[in-house]
Structure 1
């Protein structure tokens, strides 16, 4: 777009390009129009005008003049190339930069214009030089639609021309005035110039001036042509828009229809017909009321539209061709002419799924509100309480939380487990559970409440772009958790108590084992000495020897009972069964109890069914009956009566009973009489004595045989009865009985026996006993000397005490095996420790047998005889 310039004589300086020149340059330069001139040029071809500007500048140089160019950078480059090497003095200026220097709020400021453009022109005109000026500032203002500002700038140029002598040529493109509306602006532009011209060649009068009205007419013709072209384009665009609109409404996915004032359907698009399943002729031309299920609804719609109302999302039900019902939402308004309704425009949206979904949501909300457990509905990333039922509000002790974000209602939950769980479900879309979620919240008074909840968070299924939500169900399990914690604490206390009891029981067992060991050590030589007396046949002290034997046996039984405690509690008592007449073990039991009965001057009655046969452990049965007789003797006042009876109960069992006329039992005492270490009330002199073990052993031994024991009494002072019921056949757990007493060995049966025991009496008496049976015995009281004698002696059997000094029996057994170097030798442990753990340890050390003091002399003799 070009601005003012002086029109050069293009015929004289440029190649002929078909340009019609309306004003001759010689006329301009000859002064016909004065020394200066202000001309306007209207054009279509910018390249031609640029050639004219270049020629215009060269013409100034031809008379020694100067040029001024105020243009855009692109046009400056074009002019520099076209001037080439021509000797033209030109002042080059940037049009935008110059405008910025004198424009104030979009309007040319006269003072600033004078200080910038005026000073530049004055400098060029100094000395009376010819000046040809070209500028694009006015063209830039027109391009921006600022025609008034451009006219003001033209006036400032005219004012400047009154003070300075220069030629100014203006050029405007025709498209700067494209419409008739701009004709006024066009005329004002022409009025600001001395002369006007255009591209079209005109026949000029000989006198020479062009009628400016002809130029104005040409602008009007061009504007009309442009207007006609735009009209034709608009008409084409309108037809295209009408076709596109028709295609749009016909193929829109929303149902559309038009209804006449009388209710007749005038038109319907494809989506409407497909939604309801009708063909064109089945729908269009019919009254709209035929397709509405609810007549009052369509009547209301028609009435409102007739009044000029606009309907938005109005619900209705339409009947489809197949008889089904569609729930729809209707948007509609009317077209009126002179106040009369012509037709209505209706948009019909299928809302069946939406209604079903809304119905499901309402049912969900009703279910949550009526749920018997705490439930709430949270929405969005801030977990806003959309709904909270009564149970939930009661649980958290808070009303009015609907509409509040979670952390606003419960700020104390920020960063806690419940907040983390909700954030996890919202982020992943996967359900989450917590069985015992600890939750703490504050009430209105600031008090804290701790609860444990079974917490379930289920994400809601949402469509793309919909707000995410979660259903939270909470069950208060605080009481269950606290009960479980109490139980766990009780279990922990029980476990701690059990550990203490176990430790105490172990300490007790260790004490009993040590006690038994210390008691058995003196008993062992006594038993061996009695056996030696018997072997010698000494009869001088037969009565005294019998007393000693009975008392020793009593002591052994007490020690055995004492050490049987751990075996009783663990059911480790072993039975050695055989088939015998019941009178045999019962007789032994009477013999064992007779001293105590005689001491209390009791009368004993014994009634045993003749020939009564029984299978079981006779030694243990004698222990049972003797314990019952001893118990009766202890708890019956002196001179009382004790009766022992035995008979067959039936073909499968036998019945034993011990009855006394003693102190009797209360029901409370009877309930605990068979408990371990339980004893009835005793006097300070402990006349009734006992360890509280006897009856517990009775119960255990009887049950090992598959029987049962009962205690009966009519009360204090009425005496007591203990009844034992035993099966006739032995239980499956029975072992083989011990062999018969040993006999003296022959010369061929003599064995070498190594006996090591730090109990001198015990070792010596056992050695004499074995020697009396014909065996060679070497006795040592300390292990080092015994080991030194082994290579020369090479024993067939070694009887080793476990509790030896320097080296215990276990270590000595291991060293003995090495010294024997494969020589056959039976190793026998002889000790006062008789627990299962002691037997296991001796077996691990290499012992073949484990004997507990006081040892049965016959058993030792048999073991020696069995060697080899």
Structure 2
């Protein structure tokens, strides 16, 4: 080796340039990675196209909606032609109006709505498209970018909201409601055209609360003002519900029903009124109907009072002649000839007077019950004894009609608190009713029992003509009778069962009727409260007063001359 020859070159600048290039390349890659991550994470669809109208990049949101096959036709025109796309008016969108193509022509597309049939699901999807051209540093177009957002859920919500609004407006229209809104910042109540018609304000559709209150009837104004104040008070519940009268500028008076709700913001400590909304309905016709109904009701009640008064007077006036007739019949028995015809005639008079007396007594009792004039003489009663005596008192009547009468009672004393005479009347009326509607050969059963120690149950069951549904509905109404032919009619005014119900009610009980229908008999069930028997003697009907053997001096006071004279003669014949 003779020697070594070489050169040395300073490459510092080159190394620095290489390092800078590597640094810039890494920075660009990081930006690309960041941009790619950003694009890939977006739920909106991102479409990139170049100036050759080729699709160069899409994000996963596009693959999810259209599938990976979207790249099989890289030309934007072919891709746009492969989908069903519609304008907002429902007409098909031409291919050349596709937002990426418009952006390549230099247009900027902002919030364009369109509907696309999704290849993945086959459903129509609503989309909002924005597209813009991509330019280089010199301003030349080098591509386009499109951002597509799926607004299907929003459109459906808008459609549902619109549908709700339409239904609400239809309901408001059908119900003849008018709508109002109050805003505290302006202190103005705004209302619709129907409200203007109601208030008679012409074309005005707003007024202050003071102007509104000026239209309210002076008798209703303080109440309405107080309800408005409480509804708008942040410390209250914000509810407004009232009825009032308004006097329109043309002096026409209308009845209105108003409802509303105040809307507040903030918590309980710092609540602030935002607005109040509500409705108004013209209820003048309803109020007029209610007023007419009240007048009719008052008139009917007055007519009913007059009827009850008339029945009471009529009953008394009809009963007055019966006393002298009955007394005269008793006189004829004592002083008349011992002729069988004469005696039968007197007995006929007695029976018919007794029948007439029962009818009039029923008429008077119904009138007294209706007017609340009956007072019970309440005492502890032995129902076992009272019901049995009532049964025995009516046994001759029923047996004379060819009926069989049975009575069953428990071996213990059954007690209640009531009026002995009225309880007897209840049982008697039920027995008379059974005898009236049961044909010869039939049977009537009376039973007494205690139901659970709380109630006394009296049952009167017959094998008679039964009760149909129409009659059952009005059975306990005064003057209601079953529809019987004349040859089977038992007579009467149809007051017996009405009296039974009225008297049972006065005793704190209730009465029910049951029947299997026409020809299947009937059963009446009376329930009254039971009481425990006390040590003292319970009441039973008083025994009759025996004849007085000593001659008496008697003063007869009677405004009916015939009644006084006939009674005087009878008493004189009795040795007084």
> TM-score, structure 2 length as denominator?
0.48
> TM-score, structure 1 length as denominator?
0.34
Greater gyration radius? 1
Greater relative CO, 1 or 2 (CA 8 Å, sep 6+):
2
